[in-house]
Each structure stands twice: as structure tokens, then as C-alpha cells.
A and B are shown apart, each in its own frame.
Chain A
Amino acid sequence: MSRSRTVRILAPILFGLAVLALWQGLVVALHILPFVLPGPIAIGTQFGLRAPFVLTSALVTAGNALAGLLIGTVLAAVFAALTASVRVLDELSAPLVTAASVIPIVSLAPALYTMFGADVQTARVLIAALAAFIPVYFNTLRGLRTVQPIHRDLMRSYAASRWQATRAVTVPGALPYFFTGVRVASSLAVISSLIAEDFGGPINGLGTSITSAVSSSNYPLAWAFVLGAIITGLVFYCVTVGLETAATWHRASA
């Protein structure tokens, strides 16, 4: 048991190290130029040397993503609850939300920068919020609509009010769906706030830093920022997967 667990954790680490070693070997042996692909040692060195810079950039991007994720999630949950409970609202909004879900949200960035000003983060937060809204909304709505028939019967047999049934059955049943939505939304929020930086706005954040490192030909530094972006994305993913796992605890059978 503990041996297989060790293997499960060690194997990918060893594999990753092997890939890094191969990468470094190829870069050195084939004399690959840094603008094509710097070696992992060069990237790691830059990452170490410029760690505070990478961190402040990551915090800007992560801050925008987090703010957007929170705003988008809250709005989506409220809106999904309204849609699930008010039929007219559902009929009115369904086509709109479906249409909105196919908009590549980042493409709104230039317009939003003009609307809110290029010296504030508002546009980036909004883009992250819009990107986060869609998966949370659709998942939550689905969750709110999947009440097991037997639970519905039970609530009726208890002569439970609509509000009681919502609290006792509908909302707890929808939570796993909601958190799945949040997990998907978290990645989208990070990606879109990062990409949005490339359309303008304040000169900070990981996206901006990657672009400016590339334009000043500091390729290892650019890759150090990419590494920062990967870590940021992983943190968001791990936290939301944790929430999702907690929400689906004990849900195996009924």
C-alpha cells in the first residue's frame, strides 16, 4: 500500500526530472539559441534571480483572476438560483446566456480598456469575471435541476414548503455541481486575465511581463514568467479541486 503510493508519487517526479535533463542536454548539444528555446537551467536561474519580480507579477495576475472568479461565481450562483426558481426569467435569459457562452470573452478586452481606462485593473477583473460566470452558471443551474425523484416525493410526503425543500434537498444536491463549475471557472479566470493583459492596461502582471521580456530579448526571463504563470494556474486548480472534493464527500450513494 505505502509502497505503491511512494511509486505513484516518485514516478512522475523522476520522469519530470528526466525530461528536464533531456531538454537541457538537447539545448546544449544542438546549440539551440535562447530565443528558440532556453534550457531549464537558464530559466531556473532567471526564476531564482528575479523571484520577487515574478512574484509581484504573478500576484497582479492572480489578484485579477481571483477577484474576477469571486465576482463571476457570486453573480452566476445568484443568477442560476433566480433562473431555476423563476420560470419567466429562464425563458427570457436562456438564449442570451447561451449566446454569451460562445463569445471569446478576451476579445472584449480592448473595448473594456477604453470604457474603464487603461490605468486600472477593472477591465481585466471584468474579463475574468465574465469568463468565470459561464461555467458556474451552467453547472449550478444543472445541479439545481437534478433533484432525485425520490427526494422530491419525500419532500412532498412531508408537506414541506418550497423553501424547505430547497434548503433541505435542492441546494445541498446542487453544491457538487456548483464546485465543479468553480473548478472549471478558476482555470478560465487565470487564462483570461493573463491574456487580457496583452490587449493593454497597466504595465504589470504576468502576461505583460512575458511580452516585455520577449521584446527586450530576455528569453530566459520570459520563460521564468511562463513558469510563474504555470504555478499560478496550478495553485488555482489545486485549491478549487480541493473544494470540489470536499463538496462531493460522501456523495457516492444514496
Chain B
Amino acid sequence: MSESSAELAVSVAEVGKVFPARKGGGVSALEAVSVDIAAGEFVSLIGPSGCGKSTLMRLVADLDSPSSGTITVFGKSARQARRDQDYGIAFQQAGLLPWRTVRENIELPLQLHGVGKAARRARASELIELVGLGDFGDRHPDQLSGGMQQRVAIARSLAESPRLLLMDEPFGALDEMTRERMQTELARLRAETGAAVVFVTHSIPEAVYLSDRVVVMSPRPGRIVQVLDMKLGGAEDRTDALREDAHFFERVSAVREALHGDPASAARARGAETR
């Protein structure tokens, strides 16, 4: 175990999380969750709203601590990994600092970690190009669309070239067109950076399109129902053509069935969960 954990980006073992509630017992958000994510692997967490996806991601990020079980990130405790800046993080909200320009927002983590001015500028310019915001470096967030703000947030999460990216529904607030374009770009970014990604979503096609594996979770208390291998090829194969592929549709159905328990109820719920 300890030998192989060196190649693991994230290891979650028997993790439970209970939030204190006002009246007695508390809310059990996660129960006995175990999952390993290899270095460079793209894993999506999918499940109905409130099933503990964000909670699990926050535990990995050490923004909150588990009530039971252990989490290791690159073989260290989640806390140490956070201190060592082993991950980059992006949320559903872009969470940009509105008083900073795009460039200054992307430079924020570098600045906090003492990277020199010239190096910061160079890295920010690189990332601005990478996320396709070439002309917008000196704009403020209120001058950007939601999709553009989210790109800035993603660029910021990539600033320190982390080996692990944690993304909590980063495209959740975007319209369908923008969303698909952002997915394609994320697939490309991931191919270029080789980072492991933990990606929270409630969109089945999004999870299938992007992931190596999809972790399907059940509602309250959050548990892992099934972990599905996508076998859709490496990062370089995640092109737009994949969205039309028969194998892609087959995997979408497989995830849907895992989500809804059985094929019959899956068919019933099909309309609601096609995003």
C-alpha cells in the first residue's frame, strides 16, 4: 500500500463526514467512502444534489476535515498537501477578486507564494493565452461574461502547475454552448498539463466526455455506488468527435443506469438527466 501510494494523486480510505446539526445527531454527508485516484488520472464525481460531492472535494482540499477515515494526497496528509500547494482548485463560482484585473487575479497565488514580479507576469501571460483570453488581461471581472470569468478561475487554478486539479462544478453556471466549449478546452488543458483531476459534476455527458473513471454517488448519506471505467482513450482522444461516438453513448447509458439504480427507472428519468 505505502509503495503504490507514491503514484497515487489522491487516496480516500473509509472516509465519513458528519456535519453538526442544530437538533441532535447531525447530518451524515458521507459514509465509508473509499476511492483512489492515480497521478494524471481524470476522475469525475457524479450524483444527485446533496450527495456529498462538494464535501468530498473539500475534504481532499483540506478546506474541511473528515469525521472518520483518512485522506492522503501524493502520499501526504491533505493538510500537508495543501501547505505544499500540491493542488489547484476551482469552484462553480469563479470567485475572482473584483478589484483585481484578470492578470492580477491569475497572479494572486503566485504573489502569495513569493514568486517574483517578472516571473509572475510571464506565467500569467502564458495562462491568459492558454485559456484564450489574449486581449482581456487588463480587464476587470465585471467586464467579462460568466464563461470568461470561469476561464480566469481555471487559469488561476493552473498558475502553479499543480499535479492535481480539484474542480467543483466549474461549468455548472454556464450555458450549454459555452459549457461544451469549456469541456473541450479542459480536455486539451489536461492533456497539456498531465495533471490528475477530481471533477465534480451533475452532468452525465460531461463526466463521460472528460473522465477516465466516473464515481457514481448515492444521496444521503453519500456513498459510492459504483466506479465506472470510461475506456474512451487518453486525453488526446477527447475531441468533439467523441461526443458523436457510439461508445460514448454506451458509457453515458451505463452511468445513467448506475445513477438511477436500474435500467427501467433510468429510462423514466432520462429526460431530466441528459445534461
Residues facing A in B166-221 (CB within 8 A) are none
Instruction: Tell me if B97 and A172 are in contact (CB < 8 A).
Output: yes
CA distance A154 to B100 in the complex (A): 15
* Residues of B that sit less than 8 Å from A by CB: 58, 61-63, 82-83, 85, 87, 89, 91, 93-99, 108-109, 111-113, 140-143, 149
Instruction: Tell me if B95 and A148 are in contact (CB < 8 A).
Output: yes
Residues of B within 8 A of A253 (CB): 98, 141-142, 149
Indicate whether A159 reaches chain B with its CB closer than 8 angstroms: yes
Instruction: Tell me if A156 and B63 are in contact (CB < 8 A).
Output: yes
CA distance A151 to B89 in the complex (A): 12
CA distance A160 to B97 in the complex (A): 15
Instruction: Tell me if B142 and A252 are in contact (CB < 8 A).
Output: yes
CA distance A157 to B157 in the complex (A): 10
CA distance A172 to B105 in the complex (A): 13
**What distance in Å separates the Cβ of A173 from its nearest Cβ neighbour in chain B?**
8
Whether A250 touches B99, Cβ cut-off 8 Å, given contacts A156-B63, A158-B85, is yes
Indicate whether A3 reaches chain B with its CB closer than 8 angstroms: no
Q: List 10 A-B contacts (CB under 8 A).
A: A153-B58, A153-B95, A157-B82, A158-B113, A159-B82, A160-B112, A168-B112, A175-B99, A251-B142, A252-B142
Instruction: Tell me if B141 and A169 are in contact (CB < 8 A).
Output: no
Q: Which 10 A-B pairs have the closest CB atoms?
A: A150-B95, A250-B140, A252-B142, A254-B98, A172-B99, A253-B142, A159-B83, A157-B89, A158-B112, A251-B98
**What distance in Å separates the Cβ of A89 from its nearest Cβ neighbour in chain B?**
27
* Residues of A that sit less than 8 Å from B by CB: 148, 150-151, 153-154, 156-160, 164, 168-169, 172, 175, 250-254
Interface centre among A156, A252, A254 (most CB of B within 10 A): A254
Residues of A within 8 A of B112 (CB): 158, 160, 164, 168
Instruction: Tell me if B113 and A150 are in contact (CB < 8 A).
Output: no
Q: Which residue of B lies closest to A155 (CB)?
A: B112
CA distance A157 to B90 in the complex (A): 10
Residues of A within 8 A of B94 (CB): 254
Q: Which residue of A lies closest to B110 (CB)?
A: A158
CA distance A250 to B94 in the complex (A): 15
**What distance in Å separates the Cβ of B55 from its nearest Cβ neighbour in chain A?**
13
Sample of 8 more A-B contacts, CB < 8 Å, known A151-B97, A252-B142, A254-B141: A153-B91, A160-B112, A168-B108, A172-B99, A250-B99, A251-B142, A253-B98, A254-B93
Interface centre among A151, A168, A169, A253 (most CB of B within 10 A): A253
Interface centre among B62, B85, B142 (most CB of A within 10 A): B142
CA distance A253 to B111 in the complex (A): 23
Residues of B within 8 A of A150 (CB): 91, 93, 95
Residues of B within 8 A of A160 (CB): 112
Whether A159 touches B97, Cβ cut-off 8 Å, given contacts A168-B108, A254-B141, is no
